[in-house]
A and B are shown apart, each in its own frame.
Chain A
Amino acid sequence: MRLEVRVFSGLEKYIPGARFGQAIEVERPEGTTLADLVDSLGIPRDQVFAALVNGRHAPLDRVLQPGDRVSLFPPVGGG
């Protein structure tokens, strides 16, 4: 299945050619979890502080669905 991944705030350094905010299209088998995706992208799990799937927070064991928009963040804050 096809997934749309975005990485931000420094996580892009783990993915060659990636740029913050730019959608990366990836193919993964059905049943792939968020944790599987993070591992397969080469991002250490402890660097992912917040993961959004279609704009909603999701736990790492979430089973992803075709076409999901996945956004990965390190710790961020401000205001």
Chain B
Amino acid sequence: MPVSKFLRVNTATREVKFEEVPEKYLILGGRALTSQLVFDEVPPTCNPLGPFNKLVIAPGMLSGTNAPSSGRMSVGGKSPLTGGIKEANAGGIASQKLANLGIKAIILEGKPQGNDWYLLKVTPAGAELIPANDLAGKGTYEVTAICRERYGPKVAVITIGPAGEMLLPAAGVTNNDSDGNSSRYAGRGGLGAVMGSKKIKAIVVDSPTTFDAPLKEAERFKAAARKFTQILQEHPVTSKGLPNYGTNVLMNIINEAGALPTRNFHFGRFERAAEVSGEKLAEIAVARGGKATHPCHPGCVMRCSNIYPLPNGKVCAPIEYESAWALGPNLEIDSLDVIGQLNYLCNDYGLDTIETGVTLGVLMEAGVIPFGDGEAAIKALEEVARGTPLGRIIGSGAATAGRVYGVTHVPVVKGQGLPAYDPRGCKGIGVTYATSPMGADHTAGYAVTANILKVGGYVDPHKPEGQVELSRDLQVATAFLDSTGFCLFVAFAVLDNPEGMPTICDLISAKYGISFTVDDALELGKRVLKAEREFNLKAGFTSADDRLPEFFKLEQLPPHNTVFDVRDEDLDQVFNF
């Protein structure tokens, strides 16, 4: 059995070494590990693209085991988009492979001189840097295909596209699913640019096993994993809602609730939303020989992904709700084929789909591209790969695009674009957008559950009361879940089943041979948030950064004509623990 190691790569000296994991990090994984390492090793005031920032890649605490849906990977560093700490979380097959190789985290550090690109190859035999100038400039799909041809058809390829090479702040880090689609993004916050600044084009991970990460108490673990599978299979959302139509099943309910940001956050409903919804996606995907349901990594029981064949012969797998919204209703685009093409280009160029969609919305607001014009949006996006001035503006995110074109209606917090729920129609998620150390991030405290989906109780989405408590509790639980390797979607079942959290804790106890309680889990979540907040404070953030753009307070959102009215002093109470 492999001993747990850090794989530390000094990109300036090209030294690659394995290190024993210090005791304080031994049970950590995922977000808890990336955020703690960034907190401990990265000076908060450093230039995100300079020699002192680090890119940390970590499988979750339970990744690489047979716990269901536990193969998520965290990527962390200081964000070139927000200027604060960042953890971006991805599915795909790299996390399980890293965990099976006994790699607790990969740490890329330093800043290389010169213009040469490298590939980091990680196998059971060790790790090495290989010259990779031949991969530079290539899109992620091609890089992934080349690497799987060279290094084996089952390897995981963590890579960046041209956007990351150009150090654009909307660039993400991707890895592939089992079919080789390089579409599983740690998308948010520009970590692709951090990887680009280290001149690492790709990390190839080759592991013969997927589910054999070491367990201290194997029998106990197996029993708890079975029980957790059952919990997921009993909840209506994780057993039916997600597998049937994928995440884009949300399009219609968010639209009906009047919280679907439309035309750059001017309206809460898009009359053609059903045309780009999960139901429509499933129809088209199946008719064209694609799939309405698909797992992003082996061992997922929710299988919320899809395979969408495009008219041009390419395949976009998957089209997620957030991407469908950002590149659809947000731009008044009502064609899944156009959305799929934009999504595919984002994946290939190495861009975060949410940030790209929000940025295109700002460009449409500015009149650079007409709203609803899919062909113009595709043409503009293609400029990113060519590195034209407009392309670089698109790759720099919504806040930058707003400044360049004199737009004030710019939906960002801490410089990061808002996702697919208008905070005036879903105020709990507004609290999360405003206060998360990540910038506007729906996953950081997904209050849409209790506000709209009626999971984990009900809090009226239009009233300010109760939203701070809701967001706080969810942000704490999420900081923990993001550390486990579990997909955040297990929360739908865990929130409604009192046995959910104890079972997760049982899995952790059995894996590490410790006694880990629900209190420990919540304490870990709080510790993660405190470290992230502390990093941001030292980087220069104040309570003024924990606010939504003022237009959300001033402009009413149709159809309910609500404004965001959670008081500033209440927002400042989110982290009062």
Contacts and interface: CB of A to CB of B under 8 A. Distances in A.
Contacts of B249: 9, 76-78
Interface in A58-79: 71, 73-79
Given A76-B237, A77-B249, A9 B244 contact: yes
Contacts of A74: 236, 240-241
Contacts of B443: 79
Interface in B248-291: 248-250, 252-253, 256-258, 269, 273-274, 277-280
Contacts of B304: 78
Interface of A is mostly: loop
Contact of B453 (A8, A10, A56, A77): A77
- Residue in A10, A56, A76 with the greatest tally of chain B CB atoms within 10 Å: A76
Contacts of B489: 77-79
B386 interface: no
B279 A20 contact: yes
A22 B256 CA distance: 12
Given A9-B241, A20-B279, A76 B274 contact: no
Given A21-B277, A52-B256, A76-B250, 10 more contacts: A9-B244, A20-B279, A52-B257, A57-B454, A75-B241, A76-B249, A77-B241, A77-B492, A78-B320, A79-B247
Contact of A78 (B250, B257, B258): B250
B240 A75 contact: yes
Interface of A: 6, 8-10, 20-22, 49-50, 52, 55-57, 71, 73-79
A78 B235 CA distance: 13
B240 A79 contact: no
Contacts of B455: 77
A56 B560 CA distance: 9
A66 to B, nearest CB: 18
Contact of A76 (B442, B453, B488): B453
B322 interface: yes
A76 B241 contact: yes
Contacts of B4: none
B253 A79 contact: no
Given A21-B279, A77-B237, A77-B453, A10 B446 contact: no
A46 to B, nearest CB: 10
A55 B236 contact: no
B242 interface: yes
A76 B256 contact: no
Interface in B439-456: 442-443, 446, 448-449, 452-455
B236 A57 contact: no
B326 to A, nearest CB: 13
Given A22-B274, A79-B322, A49 B454 contact: yes
Contacts of B559: 55
B238 interface: yes
Given A8-B252, A50-B253, A57-B458, A78 B321 contact: yes
Interface of B: 235-238, 240-242, 244-250, 252-253, 256-258, 269, 273-274, 277-280, 304, 320-322, 442-443, 446, 448-449, 452-455, 458, 462, 488-489, 492, 559-560
B250 A79 contact: yes
B257 A55 contact: yes
A55 to B, nearest CB: 4
Given A20-B274, A20-B277, A78 B247 contact: yes
A77 to B, nearest CB: 4
18 contacts: A8-B252, A8-B277, A9-B252, A20-B277, A21-B277, A56-B560, A73-B253, A74-B236, A74-B240, A76-B245, A76-B250, A76-B253, A77-B250, A77-B455, A77-B489, A78-B250, A78-B278, A79-B247
Nearest to A19: B274
Contacts of A6: 256
A62 B255 CA distance: 21
A50 B254 CA distance: 12
B305 to A, nearest CB: 11
Contacts of B273: 21
Contact of B252 (A20, A49, A56, A79): A20
A20 B454 CA distance: 21
- Residue in A10, A49, A78 with the greatest tally of chain B CB atoms within 10 Å: A78
Given A10-B244, A55-B559, A75 B237 contact: yes
B366 to A, nearest CB: 29
A45 B151 CA distance: 54
A6 B238 CA distance: 23
Given A9-B244, A20-B252, A50-B453, A75 B236 contact: yes
Contacts of A21: 252, 273-274, 277, 279
B341 to A, nearest CB: 22
Nearest to B320: A78
Nearest to B493: A77
B346 to A, nearest CB: 18
Contacts of A75: 235-237, 240-241
A10 B242 CA distance: 12
A20 B281 CA distance: 12
- Residue in A10, A73, A75 with the greatest tally of chain B CB atoms within 10 Å: A75
Contacts of B237: 75-77
B13 to A, nearest CB: 41
Contacts of B256: 6, 8, 52, 55, 71, 73
